[in-house]
Amino acid sequence: MAGSRWMWLVCALPLWAGAQTTDAPVTVTVLGHGQTRQVQNLAKADLQQALPGTSALKILEKLPGVSFQSADPLGSYEWSTRISVRGFSQGQLGFTLDGIPLGNMSYGNNNGLHISRAISAENIRQVDLSQGTGAVGTPSTSNLGGTVQFFSLDPAEQAGATASATLGSSSTRRLFGRIDTGPLAAGGRAYLSLTRQRADKWKGTGPQDLDQFNSRYVQQFGEHRLSAFWNLSDRSENDYQDLSLDMQRRLGWDWDNYAPDWQRAVDAAHGVFAGGVNNLDDAYYTARGLRKDRLGGVTLNLNGAAAAGTLTFYHHGNDGQGHWYTPYQASSAAVPISLRTSEYEIDRNGLLGELDLEYATHAPAIGFWFERSHHHLTRNYYAVSGPEDTNRFMRDPFLTGFEQDFKTRVAQFYVRDAVRLLDGRLKLEAGAKWTRSVIDATSINAARAAGRLVAAKPFLPQVGATYILGGDDEVFASVARNLRAFEAGIYGQFSQDQAAFDANAGKLRPENSVSADLGYRFRRGALSGSVSAYRAQFNDRLVNVAACAGVVGCPNTVINVGKVDTHGVEAAVIWALARQWSWFNGITWNDSRYRSDYVDNGQTVHVAGKQVVDAPRRMWSSELAWDDGRRFARLAAKYTGERFYTYMNDAGTPGFTVLNLSAGWRLGAQLGLREASVRLHLTNLLNRRYFATLGSNQFVASDPTGTFATLLTGAPRQFALSLSGTY
């Protein structure tokens, strides 16, 4: 880092040396206490001690059952971010922000957006993870498995300002500022925040930039409450080159796209290779993703003596382009490369409502969710004469590969009840939802499928129980059935050509699952934790099988691979070693396997008994934390076991362990601030080289030679220093 950056640390050291320690105890919590499902949460303290800008998803990786991977140290580079829970992939989980659906948060999303764009990380107060299944009223059409719920900070009770600055490896600069109004004349409170992040890729060339505006207003009317927010995001990310096992062996871990060497990219497009490159797909000139989002919502909470109601309206608008220089389509006779784009538009509006009642020992509730979404998708090609400024939305293509329009309507109703018996020691919960999703797809140029798909179930039940054994010890159990609707957009069922879609449409059934949990939570003085055994049966699993290199953009092959059986055991334990020390440990054993073979183009693919792709069987995490009230430090380790990216399990990546270290000082009142702090972060402390992301270009049936490029390497050791203050 530059000398001026080190000066920040030098100035902070005397303050740290003179700080007085306090006898601050480490708190011990019972994970998911009182829940009938396996539920764990990360509170504001966990989020605040992470490197500023770190995705809230990445912070979940220490919890049992969770596999999170990304090619960048912050976990926010969307092409690479992947989260799976108990063998269910990201596209089979549900995500919400303050109850508002975020879709499945996949790249090229058709019905949502990633949490890193939805809200600045500094404005999140809590993240709740339900590993097995979400609450029956979760507004999601993809939560076959668990759910992740994000909750934002309310405006502060007191007027003030918060600011932070972060400098780090790869020219990382992040500035965050928030102004809290405190009480306003009308009795409400509000905040406005701005985030500006600039960073270079850790290998290759190109920036990964983000600008965000967040605002929130809260108004209390006696027992009632009105809240509203409006968030804007502008993200521009240069992509890393997808690798294959063979490419890593030939070209090394740090291999990337050709930029800024335009001539080498042109030579490669002509079939003239150099430096170990031997084919067109070893590298492209460069690639980039652009996303502009607008997300807002208004919520009214009405609270009475025996009833409470909530009503939320939300809107999400998105414009996006994914740029990829391709040697498979020439711009002209002189230039063998063109700029290929995937262009996205989203316009969705929704309404959520719930009525909660209370009488005697019962707490019934009814609710609904409606959403109408319009998604437009285009694949275009733009002529170039040399390197273009791709930090802009391209216009006037010379060729359109395909163009589709999707209109999706979702309706969901649910009812649930909770009752306490045996003097409150036994809690029983039961509920059911009715869900229906209708997609009408139009193909503008017939290069991709058009038609209608309906996914509906009139009865998706969920039951659960918690029994208090004594003190803080309890057992819990739950069983739930869920449905995943068909998917619009670039990766869904309409990504096939019309003939393949027509041949399969009548046979398609929406994916569905039955999940069961049985667990035990305990607290014994300084020790607390949970142990859970689970089983899930996944029916009519639909998979995309890649037919060519990602840049070529062939129509997908969507195949029903039948049943998947999952069972496993997971445990989490927190040990308060002393008043200022705590030690968290999580362990997961998961067995997710395909139960039947499938047929592709008349050929039987023998996957019965094979492990599900990108689903590690073994994981463990450990985090040792020290906090004396003024100073704190954390050393965290995460092991991820072997994973496969082929359905036949003939190609995969070995297990690996990554260590992260952070330390900080709460400096108290300094330089006119109410509170100031400094934090140091080292990610991938031992500089381990490993494959993080699997399936960046989907998965394939078999890859015995290791030549399919669908892997991304994890970031090497990175350093960051952050200063923050509250006025």
Number of Cβ within 10 Å of residue 127's Cβ equals 22
d(CA 32, CA 39): 5
Contact (Cβ atoms closer than 8 angstroms) between residue 437 and residue 408: yes
Mean pLDDT, all residues of the chain: 91
Out of 373-387, 505-519, 531-545, the most confident range is: 373-387
Q: What is the pLDDT at residue 83?
A: 94
- Residue 531, CA distances (Å) to 39, 84, 326, 534, 571 in order: 12, 19, 50, 10, 4
Q: Does the pLDDT of residue 21 top 70, yes or no?
A: no
Beta-bridge partner residues of 586: 572, 621
**Of 513, 588, 543, which Cα lies nearest the Cα of 695?**
543
Q: In sequence order, what are the residues at sequence separation of 6 or more whose Cβ sits closer than 8 angstroms to the Cβ of residue 318?
A: 109, 113, 291, 292, 293, 294, 344, 345, 346, 347
Model confidence at 36, pLDDT cuts 50, 70, 90, reads confident
Distance of CA 384 to the CA centre of its chain: 34
Q: Does the pLDDT of residue 129 top 50, yes or no?
A: yes
Q: What is the pLDDT at residue 727?
A: 87
Reading the block at residue 183, the tokens are: 């009480």
Place of tokens 């006119």: 672
Residue 616 parent element (H or E) = none
Q: What is the pLDDT of residues 388-419, one digit of tens each?
A: 888 999 999 999 999 999 999 999 999 999 99
Model confidence at 16, pLDDT cuts 50, 70, 90, reads very low
Q: What is the mean pLDDT of residues 699-706?
A: 94
Contact (Cβ atoms closer than 8 angstroms) between residue 612 and residue 590: no
Q: What is the pLDDT at residue 303?
A: 93
* Pairwise pLDDT comparison (22 vs 83), residue with the higher score: 83
Contact (Cβ atoms closer than 8 angstroms) between residue 291 and residue 320: yes
Place of tokens 């002529």: 383
Contact (Cβ atoms closer than 8 angstroms) between residue 200 and residue 173: no
Lowest mean pLDDT among 165-179, 504-518, 550-564: 550-564
Q: What is the pLDDT at residue 281?
A: 94
Q: Does the pLDDT of residue 18 top 70, yes or no?
A: no
Q: What is the pLDDT at residue 11?
A: 32
Model confidence at 44, pLDDT cuts 50, 70, 90, reads confident
Place of tokens 């690996």: 656
Contact (Cβ atoms closer than 8 angstroms) between residue 470 and residue 501: no
Model confidence at 548, pLDDT cuts 50, 70, 90, reads confident
Model confidence at 13, pLDDT cuts 50, 70, 90, reads very low
* Pairwise pLDDT comparison (200 vs 725), residue with the higher score: 200
- DSSP string of 637-693? EEEE--EESBTTSSSEE--EEEEEEEEEEEEEEETTEEEEEEEEEEESTT----EEE
Q: Does the pLDDT of residue 9 top 60, yes or no?
A: no
* Pairwise pLDDT comparison (445 vs 292), residue with the higher score: 292
Burial of 655 (0-12, 13-18, 19+ CB in 10 A): middle
Lowest mean pLDDT among 38-42, 58-62, 374-378: 38-42
d(CA 419, CA 383): 65
**Of 525, 466, 635, which Cα lies nearest the Cα of 34?**
466
d(CA 651, CA 611): 12
Secondary-structure percent of the chain, ordered helix, strand, coil, rounded to 5: 10, 55, 40
Q: Does the pLDDT of residue 549 top 90, yes or no?
A: no
Q: Which amino acid is at 63?
A: L
Q: What is the pLDDT of residues 201-254, one digit of tens each?
A: 999 999 999 999 999 999 999 899 999 999 999 999 999 999 999 999 999 999
Q: In sequence order, what are the residues at sequence separation of 6 or more whose Cβ sits closer than 8 angstroms to the Cβ of residue 11?
A: none
Q: What is the mean pLDDT of residues 456-483?
A: 94
Lowest mean pLDDT among 88-92, 183-187, 241-245, 305-309: 183-187
Distance of CA 288 to the CA centre of its chain: 19
Backbone angles phi, psi at 395, to 5 degrees: -135, 155
Q: Does the pLDDT of residue 286 top 50, yes or no?
A: yes
Q: What is the pLDDT at residue 34?
A: 83
Lowest mean pLDDT among 95-99, 598-602, 638-642: 598-602
**Of 173, 186, 76, 93, which Cα lies nearest the Cα of 133?**
93
Model confidence at 285, pLDDT cuts 50, 70, 90, reads very high
d(CA 213, CA 500): 43
Q: What is the pLDDT at residue 255?
A: 97
